Structure formats: structure tokens, C-alpha cells
């Protein structure tokens, strides 16, 4: 009786065993902040849809496509390399999108600030000034045709601004990403309609996460490890005493209650 046999084989297959033994599948990370934390530029509604629907869909697709393959329990970076080597276009697109969104959540923060330290020196060397880098970012993001991503990246010496189309990713390879901004319309359309330049300007001026960019840049110089997808949320800076007290209250609450859906 063929259907029953297939069911039994599937039930005994590597995927169910991997799940039984708690092997890692690719997960949807929590946001590093409340969904409303970036509302000067991106509303809570946008963030919830973007994270809970779009990113979640890419993660589910990766897990479905890698089930019963040799990379089903591999880190997302290895899945991306494997998909590229095996010309698995659908998997590569979904895995690239999953990785880029994980990196995106850490590229944003309610406590933006300014580039500092070695990163600020490198920006001066490569662009002349932070203002010139800002101009390059806004120009590249606004000029990019269709969906994609605009990155600040480094080869370990110089910094650059570049864009990738659709699901193109800097997850693997020699160039190390510092920050990324999502150019897909799902990232901003509810809040900014077709005003991509207004979205990019707000993004740069109010929510770019320079702490995260500096940590990535230090990794490029050999001081620490670059972010990987499994690392999930990068710790957010605490901008004020109120933030600090809120964080302590949050930890205390988490010790007795389950975390809220939109928070760390």
C-alpha cells in the first residue's frame, strides 16, 4: 500500500529525526527592539509586517527547501554558499533574503548617533567626510532600479557604498557588510509611499545603527568576529537612564513572565 509506505518513510526520515534531536533549522530571530521603536521613520505596522510576514516567509521557505538535503541543519551562511555552488536559484534567493533581513534588523536602532573611532577615520579616508558618505548612500539608494539592498561595506582597507539586486547578499565573500538598508517597497511603502528618497534620508539621519557598523568594522580589522545569522539580535545601546531602567525592568519581568511578542 504505497501511500502508507511513503508516510512511514517520511516519518522516519532525517528531518523528523533532526527535529526529534533538536537539530538547528534556520530560525526567525526576534527584533532587537519593540516594533514601535523606529516609528520616527518606520511604523510598528510596517515593522510587524516586514518581520512577521516577509522575513518569516523567507525563513519558512529555506527550511522547506533544505529539508532532507545535506544542508538541512547547516548555518544559513553555508546554505547560501551551497545553493550558489549547486545553482539552486530558489533556495539562494530565499536564503539571501533571510540573511539580509537578519542583518537589516541590527542595522537599525532608535539610538542612531554618529560613526566613531576607527570607523570614522576610515570614512574620512575613503569618502572625505561622513557627509560625503551620506550623499553617496542617498544617491545609490535612490538611483537603484527596482528591488534590492544598499550596503556600506569594506574589504578591510577601504569603505564603499554598493547595491545588490533582489535577493543579492554580502553574507559570504571577501566584502564585509557594515550596514544594510532594504530597498524593497515592502520595507517603506506603508509609511513613505513612493518617496524612497525621504525614507532613505530618515533612515540615515535617525535610525542607522553605527554601534553595529563599528563592531563589524572592528571584525574586518581582526578585532572580534563578524556577525552571523545565528547570532540574532545585536545588543542595542541604552541611550538614556530611562532606557537602562526599562531594560532592567524588562529582564526582571522576563524572569517571571514570557517575553512580549515584539520585544527581545
Supply 206's cell numbers.
535617525
* Nearest distance from C-beta of residue 54 to Fe ion, angstroms: 5
Residue 182 vs 191, nearer CB to Fe ion: 182
Query: Could you tell me the sign of the dihedral formed by the alpha carbons of 79, 95, 146, 113, in that order?
Result: negative
Nearest to 160 by CA among 142, 146, 174, 145: 174
Contact 90, 68 (CB under 8 A): no
* Nearest distance from C-beta of residue 184 to Fe ion, angstroms: 5
Residue 98 vs 187, nearer CB to Fe ion: 187
Query: What single-letter DSSP state applies at residue 167?
Result: T
Binding site for Fe ion (CB under 5 A): 182, 184, 187
Q: For residue 208, list its beta bridge partners.
A: 108
* Nearest distance from C-beta of residue 97 to Fe ion, angstroms: 7
Residue 182 vs 211, nearer CB to Fe ion: 182
SS3 content of the chain, % helix, strand, coil (to 5): 55, 10, 35
* Nearest distance from C-beta of residue 225 to Fe ion, angstroms: 25
Residue 41 vs 187, nearer CB to Fe ion: 187
Nearest to 153 by CA among 163, 138, 145: 163
Residue 188 vs 217, nearer CB to Fe ion: 188
Which residues lie below 8 Å from residue 115, measured CB to CB, with a gap of 6+?
123, 130, 210, 213, 214
Residue 59 vs 123, nearer CB to Fe ion: 59
* Nearest distance from C-beta of residue 147 to Fe ion, angstroms: 9
- Measured from each CB, the residue nearest to Fe ion is 182
* Nearest distance from C-beta of residue 187 to Fe ion, angstroms: 5
Nearest to 98 by CA among 33, 153, 147, 27: 27
State how far the Cα of 98 lies from the Cα of 237, in Å rounded to an integer: 24
Amino acid at each position: 500500500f504505497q501511500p502508507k509506505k511513503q508516510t512511514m518513510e517520511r516519518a522516519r526520515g532525517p528531518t523528523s529525526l533532526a527535529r526529534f534531536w533538536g537539530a538547528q533549522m534556520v530560525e526567525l530571530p526576534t527584533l532587537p527592539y519593540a516594533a514601535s521603536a523606529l516609528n520616527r521613520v518606520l511604523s510598528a505596522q510596517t515593522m510587524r509586517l516586514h518581520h512577521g510576514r516577509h522575513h518569516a516567509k523567507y525563513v519558512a521557505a529555506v527550511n522547506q527547501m533544505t529539508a532532507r538535503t545535506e544542508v538541512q541543519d547547516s548555518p544559513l551562511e553555508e546554505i547560501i554558499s551551497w545553493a550558489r555552488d549547486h545553482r539552486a536559484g530558489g533556495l539562494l534567493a530565499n536564503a539571501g533574503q533571510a540573511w539580509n533581513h537578519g542583518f537589516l534588523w541590527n542595522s537599525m536602532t532608535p539610538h542612531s548617533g554618529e560613526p566613531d573611532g576607527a570607523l570614522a577615520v576610515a570614512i574620512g579616508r575613503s569618502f572625505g567626510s561622513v557627509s560625503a558618505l551620506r550623499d553617496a548612500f542617498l544617491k545609490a539608494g535612490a538611483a537603484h532600479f527596482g528591488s534590492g539592498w544598499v550596503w556600506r561595506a569594506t574589504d578591510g582597507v577601504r569603505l564603499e557604498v554598493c547595491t545588490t539586486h533582489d535577493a543579492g547578499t554580502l553574507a559570504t565573500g571577501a566584502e564585509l557588510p557594515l550596514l544594510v538598508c532594504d530597498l524593497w517597497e515592502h520595507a517603506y511603502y506603508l509609511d513613505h509611499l513612493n518617496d524612497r528618497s525621504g525614507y532613505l534620508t530618515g533612515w540615515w539621519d535617525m535610525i542607522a545603527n553605527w554601534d553595529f557598523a563599528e563592531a563589524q568594522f572592528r571584525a574586518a580589522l581582526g578585532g572580534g568576529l563578524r556577525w552571523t545569522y545565528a547570532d540574532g539580535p545585536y545588543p542595542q545601546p541604552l541611550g538614556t537612564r530611562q532606557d537602562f531602567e526599562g531594560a532592567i525592568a524588562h529582564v526582571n519581568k522576563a524572569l517571571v513572565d514570557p517575553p512580549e511578542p515584539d520585544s527581545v
